[in-house]
Amino acid sequence: MHYELVEAVVGIARLDRIRARIAIDDGRIRYRDEHLEMEERDYWYGPTLTEEALDDPQLVGETVHGDPELGQSILSPYAAVCVRWTRERASALKTVEIEELVPVQDVEDHFVLVRYLHSIRDMSKRAFIHCDGAVKAYDRDTYPRDLAEFRRRAKAPSYRKVFRLDGAFSAKQWSTVAALWFRGNRLVPEYLMSLSAYAS
């Protein structure tokens, strides 16, 4: 159970009267006496993203942040993260999509599962108005094996939405949820460092 992510999503909804939804994995439902409690804690550091940049209509485009040392071990399993900011002409709405690149492991599973975040920023309100996190399932045989392929990746054939927030919420609240959603992937919290309490 990712208590910090659930607490952040529910807390934002409760405090700001935002509609929140969280998926339940019906394949893991169990009786109360079968529950086993586990706890993980993480620490991140890295570059900054400013709130001023969030509301700059000219700052759009796609970047792929990678670390050649990541993705080589079980302790650092993520090779890169793609951040794509877009905006329709003359619109006050700015969209961001964040998706991680994971190395394909030598396992028999037919799918490669990656986390994905989609959010909308209303620059006129200086607030995010939507955020959802999903798990995408790519076919193992066609999933990108390096950064060049990752940039040209096709759409995932299936995905499952895990949570969703709708309503006006702050950049700090958004980045906290994003950092918690990508827990374990140091590249995302490094990108969000200046905005999130959980990224520093």
Q: pLDDT of the chain along its 200 residues, tens only?
A: 677 888 889 888 887 778 898 888 777 677 777 766 655 444 333 345 788 889 999 889 888 777 655 555 555 566 788 899 999 888 999 999 999 988 777 666 788 899 999 999 999 999 999 999 999 999 888 887 777 777 778 888 899 999 999 999 999 999 999 999 998 888 888 888 778 655 44
Domain boundaries in the chain? Answer: 3-26+48-191
Residue 67, pLDDT score? 60
Strands (E), the chain: 19-22, 61-66, 80-87, 93-101, 111-122, 127-139, 158-169
pTM of the model: 0.72
Show Cβ contacts of residue 138 under 8 Å, excluding neighbours closer than 6 positions: 111, 112, 113, 114, 153, 156, 157
Residue 36, pLDDT score? 65
